Chains A and B, each alone.
Chain A
Amino acid sequence: MNVSLYLSSKTWVHRLDGRTKVLTVLGVFVLALCFSHPLYLLGVFGFVMGGLAISRAGANVRKAWMLTALLFCYSVALWPFFVEGLTPVPLLNRLGVTQEGVMVGMGMGLRLLIMLWGGIWLLSTTTVEELAQASQQLGLPSRAGFAFSLAFRWVGMLLGAGVGVVQAQRSRGLDVSTGGLLQRIRKYVPLVVPLIGHALRQTNLLAMALESKGFHPSSRRHFCSTGQLMLPDYAVICVMVVLVGVSGWLRWIGVGVLDIRF
């Protein structure tokens, strides 16, 4: 079962070095945190959506738009109740909802969207192996990166096994959709135990398999890919540095920032 969001394509974004893509997304997160005004955040959101478009990540956009739209609505609906303001909203005045609160809700909703779509853009254009290599090159411990990529690889296998477990137990009459809360929770035991048992039974074998292929925790990994940054990488990093710098300066002088009081 394939669980990765990665979309194989030959765009120039895909060809960028993994470090460039990770740094770009981190830059986008910083841009989102610099502003709280919806108009400025809308600009950053447009930048991210443009990135998704040139990366041909439409398939993932179609997959995730419903979830992200729901989260945006939550933010817009919830924040106004926690923010003080001076301009009441007609009809909702009794609930303490003000126009400033609505602005904050929209801003925070957009910030959430930018962060989620930024993450989806990274995962759509970067393989798990590239992410592991980039994280090692950016200074994260290589063994943690390896455990991450290994786990990612096994999620697919476990999801496949999970389908088998669910089918086997349903065939024996297990129905998790009926009963009260406690009953329903207890019914998950026959589903979760075989899945965990299936995985743990293989622990020793997996460790043996890794060492048989030459892996050892003490050995350093030397990636085949030379990891040299190319001209497009430097160009993208420069653009992001400028954007982050300008946004930081705008925030410093108070542009694009709402005055939020709780």
Chain B
Amino acid sequence: MKSRSSAQRRNLTQQIGFIFLRLVAIIAVLPIIAIIVFIIYQGAPAISLEFIFGFPSDGMRSGGIWPAIVGTFFLTLICALVVSPLGIGAAIYLAEYAPDNRWTQSIRIAIINLAGIPSVVYGLFGLGLFVIFLNFGISILAGSLTLAIMTLPVIITTTEEALRAVPQSFRVVSRSVGATQWQTVRRIVLPQALPGILTGVILGLERAAGETAPILFTAAVFFLPRLPSSPMDPTMALPYHLYVISTQVPGMSPQIQYGTALVLLVFVLGMNLIATIIRSRARARRQW
């Protein structure tokens, strides 16, 4: 009977172990839900038309956050226009063209490094290259370009994965009826990988929209009495605004702080949601 009791003991160990793991997982994810609920709860009362579409007044202590919303929108938009063709092109090269050699290996190492460089170092780089050397000044353009380079590795990696998910046999068939490599990529591979690419691009931009450090010295300013009128103008931005009103302005009303945090969270997590919807829809429709 000895073996039986040891089996029972082992089963008990396993049950306790699994309960422990479950508890740990709950500890890990509970704060995530709590944070979202808490910010919605605290921030929702601040949300009004005046808050969204108004300008800050009384030294940020009242009024709205419209210039920051507009600024983050344009920073993200120009970042998208720059990084999408570059990142998708690079991913096409890696997935479809690149030979398996040292050069390709060094591209991959470069991508890994780009992904690991701290965001504030991107800020320094943007300051050195765009603001000072190219003389763009503190501007939306300088900030967007800095964000674009920071986002590049994310977009390359996700796009390459989406391209590689397209079955190899489609490529062989396309080539066998006389299509060139580029025709195959354009007419077969890209359309099939499009949902995956879109998902990756949006997730990359989500990161760009929420970042503060890269725009700190390249684009963002404390307060602007008007909306930016060209890419060469400096701008307010949501994440920087939240930083400013939670650390630099004494006597801020918490409601405005939470309201700003909520708008930023909705902006960023909204993009996340769109990406998730595109991905799950494409999965349901996919024929292969």
**Do the two shown chains form a genuine complex with each other?**
no
